[in-house]
Amino acid sequence: MDIFERLQNLDKGVFYILMALAIAIPTVKPVGLPVEVTDLVRKTHDFVQSLPEGSKVLIGFDYEPGDEIDLNPQAIALFHQLAARKIKIVTIASFPSAPLFAEECLQVLAQYGYKYGEDYVDLGYYAGGESTLAAFGTKPTSIFTRDFLGNNVASLPLMNNVNGMKDFSMAMTLNDGPTNGTGTHEWVRQSVMAHGTPLIMGTTGVLAAANMTYVQSGQCKGILAGLRAAAEYEKLTGKIGTGTVGMDAQSMAHVLIVLFVILGNAAMFLGKQKARRVPGGGAK
């Protein structure tokens, strides 16, 4: 077996170890590479900044364990910005475990003196995806009579003036896809198209490409895609968190994968060229 064949058939353990090192070394010894803020994240931040002080926003926690590393930092950075402008927050969740993520992220509001029931409410989980969101958008109390903590929703001052999606100045979905929950397309349909409530999205990297169409068409006012967007948002709000901390490792891993791609293709092309030069044989 010649060098090109050997290169093309490297043991997968080599890649696993290199990948692990590319993530582990910058995690333990961070370099602090600077994160530049992109236009898309700045546009999203500016839109949130334009919301009236004291208005209400609806945040959908629509993700499962595995995506919290991307979406929790986005939620926390957003909550810092909303709390600084005294904007009230209502959260709902379309995955069974998502209310626990909401509870974790909402803890940052304590430092702003936010009171539960008056300034923020966690309504908890709803089953049924888009249909339930549609029902909530017209009449929230038909879906939630109790919040996540077991309180009677009618007794919460913040919910007294919430009669539908129209009462929110903005909706946001923190989303990892529609499987078993409410996806981004569903949120566009049920907040923007049905009630005219502006929507921004926080998504994992996987969903970013598909949802750019909504941003370009103006149906969605902004999008935060992945850990990078969380890091940029943290820079804009001035509250550095786990988004920024992970960027060094993200950099190394991405560069390594690009190197793998280049190496693999180089081995393939050089192998083909060598095969063509061999007399009486090789590729036609």
206-225 b/e (C-beta count within 10 Å ≥ 16 → b) = ebbeebeebbeeeebbbbbb
Report the alpha-carbon distance of residue 17 to residue 160 in Å, rounded. Answer: 56
String of contacts with another protein for each residue 130-169, x by CB under 8 A: xxx-xx--xx--xxxxx-xxx-------------------
Instruction: Identify the bridge partners of residue 171 per DSSP, sorted by sequence position.
Output: 58, 199
Of 144 and 168, CB closest to another protein: 144
Binding residues for another protein restricted to 247-276, rule: CB under 8 A: 247-258, 260-265, 268
Q: Of 258, 262, 260, 255, nearest to 26 (Cα)?
A: 255
Of 16 and 54, CB closest to another protein: 16
The owner of tokens 């339930």 is 132
Selected binder of another protein within 189, 239, 274, 275 (CB under 8 A): 189
Q: Of 42-50, 54-62, 111-119, 199-207, which part binds another protein (CB under 8 A)? A: 199-207
Number of residues that bind another protein (CB under 8 A): 103
Selected binder of another protein within 188, 200, 201, 224 (CB under 8 A): 188
String of contacts with another protein for each residue 28-47, x by CB under 8 A: xxx--xxxx-xxx-------
Q: Report DSSP state, residue 58.
A: E
Binding residues for another protein restricted to 57-76, rule: CB under 8 A: 64-70
Of 54 and 145, CB closest to another protein: 145
* Residue 24 binding another protein, by CB under 8 A: yes
Q: To the nearest whole angstrom, how small is the minimum distance from the Cβ of residue 53 to another protein?
A: 30
Diameter of the chain measured on Cα atoms: 86
* Residue 120 binding another protein, by CB under 8 A: no
Of 24 and 110, CB closest to another protein: 24
Sequence-ordered alpha helix ranges (H) in the chain: 3-8, 12-28, 39-49, 68-84, 98-106, 130-138, 184-187, 194-195, 205-217, 226-237, 242-245, 247-277
